[in-house]
Structure 1
Amino acid sequence: MSEMVELIKQLRDRTGAGLMDCKHALVESGNDIEKAILWLREKGIAKQAKKASRIAAEGLTTIKIKDNRAVVLEINCETDFVAKSDPFIDLVNQVAEITIDQLPDNVEELKQAQNAEGKTVAELFTDAAIKLGEKLDLRRFVIVNKSEDEHFGSYIHMKGAMSVLIVTKGGDVQTADDLAMCIASTGPSYLTIDEVSPAERAQEKAIQIENAKEDPSFAKKPQQIQEKIIEGRVNKHFEAQVFEYQEYVLDSTKTIAQVLKETGVTPVKFIRYKVGEGIEKRADDFAAEVAKELN
């Protein structure tokens, strides 16, 4: 094996970069491995800047729990293929570990946090971007604390497509885990009807009044009946989004409220992260995308 081939192999093993990128880096750095790594990083940052306008709507969510603290986190990439790759999964796990250990206040602070080797999260992202060739985005995270008499329940769907964390009082961890699974399935917006704010109710009432105007028979009803109909529709709208009114997915003959009563469990809060939710995916022309990358 020639010296150049051996150097390329070492550089590729250390960085995960492509063969031609490794060769180019070594040529530009006079066959110095450490300088070549820095060169790849610098070029990786430049490539990341070129990719900034691209949409990263795939990726993974995860949950990390340590004692009375938990982290729910989402990191995005561009394709499902990369989301399933070992380097991306490793990045997600590393960042979750750093988050729960160092407790940053926001994403920008997390990007400056360091791992045990002294690399910042931002540098980990640059290294992963070089290896994977996609735009990567540290989208969001939340740190949740509980008391000693509370339980964390967690559920990760399809290896990270969705993550749900719930904090409960009473019962046990298994019950909390089952409730987290239910939240993943039904996607509630509220735990109880009391969480619906007066402003939200007023907004929905206005919508229902406008919708009712499209029904000629509604106007013929007495004012008192109209108000009851509108109130009923508003309640129905929100009840569909309230966890305690939803079906218990592990036994469709029961509601969540019934299960909570039977088990003596009180839900305190929940977090539900679904990969890419709220991100508008863009359908670019492939030829145009290639042209942009070559420029």
Structure 2
Amino acid sequence: MAEITAALVKELREKSGAGMMDCKKALVETGGDVEAAMDWLRTKGLSKAAKKSDRVAAEGLVAVASREDGKGETAAVIEFNAETDFVARNELFQNAAKAFAEAALDAEGVEGVNAATLSGGKTVQDEVTNLIATIGENMQVRRVARHAVSEGVVASYVHNSVAPSLGRIGVLVALEGAADKALLRDLGRKIGMHIAATAPLSLNTDDLDPVAVERERAVLTEKAKEDGRPENMIAKIVDGQIAKFQKDVVLSKQPFVMNPDQTIEQLVADSGKEFGAEIKLTGFTRMALGEGVEKAAEPDFAAEVASMTGG
């Protein structure tokens, strides 16, 4: 029997698109014969995954997970995609999304999560491959984010929830401080609801992407010119509009949706006084399902019929 080397497993994985553990098992079952192993995988339905890898997967779920680490907490949010919303209602898919979010608590980025080992001994990537073969749709862990605080909480909020910790928008809010965790968690959930609704671009003004600011400045400058504003006043006008833009998209400066007379910055400061301990909002992540994915255009059957009938 041929030695089942890592190179042999890699070769079979690249040819079949199946998971590493399945490839190794196939090679063991076939005495290291790659072609026979390919046939073995096909009989098990495991090589189908490769054929589906180029399909657009923009549906699925966002999942969150968290754990207490002494006085602090760690939390993660992932986006696990499939091709249809129907699959997102599948219990196998939902359980996998939860398990992958748990794995993200100790992994860095998508590659780290895909390489993480689950409780059953398979890696996340192997489990994804098996799900593709079982359910019949392309799937992928597309995005991962993680926050941790040494003291305090990383609160979570899930919008359009389909099950606990699963939905279409997931938000993490990192709050550092020695205040009661239940109070901090409630505050974090409220801020999470605000973030889900307003989609801020950054925590503070200094964190705002300079490219986004300059893009906005260019648009506002052109608009001011088209509106016939005096040339010598345009820069000052645009500066004022940029300040308003920053207020609109920077979380700390945004008016709190539950009390527009109070900014998020003020909410955190006032809550600290109320809870008897200073609180710092150190970070957040808002992850919405399918953001930035180019979906294939749905066929316009009405237009097709009209063109065929001359209507």
- 1:168 positional shift: 1.4
Letter in 2 for 1:269: G
**Partner secondary structure for residue 183 of structure 1:** helix
Give the aligned length: 244
Give the distance between the partners of 2:285 and 2:249, measured in 1 at CA.
Answer: 15
AA of the residue aligned to 1:261: A
Q: Counterpart of 2:129 in structure 1: which amino acid? A: T
Mapping 1:48-87, distance limit 5 Å: 48-67=49-68, 68-87=73-92
Within the candidate set 261, 272, 277, 2:286 is matched to 272
Q: Which one-letter code corresponds to 2:170 in the other structure?
A: S
Structure 1 residues 276 and 215: CA distance shift in structure 2, 3 A: same
> 1:257 corresponds to which residue?
265
How has the CA–CA distance of structure 1 residues 194 and 114 changed in structure 2, closer, same or farther, with 3 Å as cutoff?
Answer: closer
**C-alpha distance in structure 2 between counterparts of 1:197 and 1:125, whole Å:** 34
Instruction: Name the aligned partner's letter for residue 271 of structure 1.
Output: T
Task: Report the alpha carbon displacement of residue 243 of structure 1 after superposing the two structures with TM.
Answer: 1.4
Aligned mates of 1:138, 1:199 — CA distance in 2:
28
Residues 242-288 of structure 1: CA distance to partner in whole angstroms, max 9, x if unpaired? 1133232233454323322321343110011111101010126599x
Q: Tell me which residue corresponds to 2:190.
A: 178
SS where residue 206 of structure 2 aligns? helix
**Contact 2:41–2:47, Cα closer than 8 Å, also in 1:** no
Contact 2:58 2:290 survives alignment (8 Å): yes
Match for residue 305 of structure 2? none
Q: Give the equivalent residue in structure 2 for 1:158.
A: 160
CA separation in 1, counterparts of 2:129 and 2:289? Answer: 21
CA deviation after TM superposition for structure 1 residue 199, in Å:
5.3
Q: In the TM superposition, what are the counterparts of 1:230-241 in structure 2 within 5 Å? A: 230-241=238-249
Q: Is the 8 A contact 1:44 1:129 kept in 2?
A: no
Identical counterparts, % of pairs: 34
Which secondary structure state, in structure 1, belongs to the residue aligned with residue 255 of structure 2? coil
1:96-245 mapped onto 2 (5 Å cutoff): 96-100=101-105, 103-148=106-151, 150-159=152-161, 160-170=167-177, 172-196=184-208, 200-216=212-228, 218-219=229-230, 223=232, 225-245=233-253
TM-score w.r.t. length of structure 2: 0.70
Q: Which piece of structure 1 moves more, 180-189 or 120-129? A: 120-129
Deviation at 1:55, TM superposition (A): 0.6
Give the RMSD, CA atoms, in angstroms.
Answer: 2.6
- Rounded Cα–Cα distance in structure 1 between residues aligned with 2:126 and 2:75: 24
> What is the Cα deviation at residue 46 of structure 1?
2.8
Q: CA deviation at 1:70?
A: 1.5
Instruction: Tell me the distance in 1 between the aligned counterparts of 2:208 and 2:94.
Output: 37
Question: Which amino acid is 1:98 matched to?
Answer: A
Alignment-mate amino acid for residue 113 of structure 1: A
**AA at the equivalent of 1:87:** L
1:203 to partner: Cα distance: 4.0
Separation of aligned partners in 2, 1:114 and 1:286: 44
> Alpha carbons of 1:83 and 1:241: their partners in 2 closer, same or farther (altered >3 Å)?
same
| Residue 4 (structure 1) aligns with | none
**Cα gap change, 1:107/1:45 in structure 2, threshold over 3 Å: closer, same or farther?**
farther
Query: Does the residue aligned with 2:249 lie in a helix, a strand or coil?
Result: coil
Q: Are 2:96 and 1:91 equivalent residues in the alignment?
A: yes
Contact 1:162 1:184 (C-alpha < 8 Å) held by counterparts? yes
TM-aligned CA distance change 1:119 to 1:198, over 3 Å: closer
User: Is the contact made by 2:47 and 2:133 (CA closer than 8 Å) also made in structure 1?
Assistant: no
Q: For residues 31-90 of structure 1, give each alpha carbon's deviation from its aligned partner in whole angstroms, at most 9, with x where no partner exists.
A: xxxxxxx94677544322211221100011111111222111111001111111111001
- Give the match's secondary structure for 2:252: helix
Deviations, residues 207-259 of structure 1 (Å, cap 9, x unaligned): 3222222112x13x6x2x33321111111222110113323223345432332
* 3-state SS of paired residue (1:240): helix
Give the TM-score taking structure 1 as reference length. 0.74
Within 2, Cα distance between the matches of 1:200 and 1:176?
A: 27
Are 2:149 and 2:176, in contact at CA under 8 Å, matched by a contact in 1? Answer: no
Q: 2: CA distance between counterparts of 1:180 and 1:204? A: 26
Code of the residue aligned with 2:226 in structure 1: it is E
